[in-house]
Amino acid sequence: MNRTVVLWLAVGWIGFAILPWYAIDDGFWTMAWFDGYVTDVDYAPGLFVALFLGREWLIPIGLALLAPLAVINRPKMDPLFSVVLLGAGGFGMAYTILQGFTVGLVGWNWEFLDAWFGAIEVRQFGMGYGSLLVIGAFLFLFAQGIAARGAINGDVFVVGSISLVIALVTAFIFFPVSRILVSAVQDNDENFAPGQFVDKLFSHDIWGLDCLTSSVGCGVAWNSLTLAVLTGAGTTRLSPWS
């Protein structure tokens, strides 16, 4: 039995069947969620939310967590081992993240889904500790599938570490930056409005030179440029002393 697969399946099922799926307003560590555990959609684990509380779109996540059981006793060199882990891990991770962005507090998060499937009345809070463990489990199952393919000499630890770093950089750097870039071509109602990009790009708040004629500060572009020049000049001057 592959112990690493067993470990991450256990982590995934703890997140899906035991811990609350959604983020809790009162805080997870207050343990106030015990009062509505299983019966309240805001506090219940994903498994109960999917089967009994009207969030059927979470069922594929449970199916993806079941798939690795088919290869739990197979050797790493078996081609089916890597195929199942790559499929279950990749699909599970992508689907879990996608469903979180698709359904929000007011139903569909994207208007075109209203036109395709009709409006829905159910709501969905942000993902909590349960979903975090599930996504982590899928990530490392996927990494083990990559290692089984022979990547980095099949070293599961190294492949898993690299996968974790990539996931963290994507979540905390690329995703926020992409959101900022997308907002540059949207209006206040998040409608696509590329014409406003020019107005935002050449805004007085960015390029204003009021600091030259009054006590009002200059735009952020000039402040950033000044900081960059001073930092570069300072480090260049100090470099001979290092």
Taken as a whole, the chain contains a residue count of: 242
Question: What is d(CA 202, CA 224) in angstroms, rounded to the nearest whole number?
Answer: 15
For 41-66, what is each residue's pLDDT tens digit? 888 999 999 999 888 999 999 999 99
Tokens of 206: 């960015």
Strand partners, 45: 20
Could you list the beta-strand ranges (E) of 103-174: 103-104, 107-108
Query: Is the CB of residue 144 less than 8 Å from the CB of residue 157?
Result: no
**Single-letter code of the amino acid located at 46:** G
Phi and psi (nearest 5°) for 127? -75, 145
Give the predicted TM-score (pTM) of the model.
Answer: 0.80
Q: What is the DSSP letter of 104?
A: E
Q: What are the extents of the domains in the chain?
A: 3-195, 202-241
Pairing assessment for the beta strands 103-104 and 107-108 based on DSSP bridges: antiparallel
Tokens of 216: 């009002």
- Tell me the percentage of the chain whose pLDDT exceeds 70: 96
Alpha helices in 18-128, H assignment, sequence order:
46-52, 59-66, 79-102, 111-117
Task: Report whether pLDDT(193) > 80.
Answer: no
For 76-130, what is each residue's pLDDT tens digit? 888 999 999 999 999 999 999 999 888 887 778 777 777 777 777 777 888 999 9
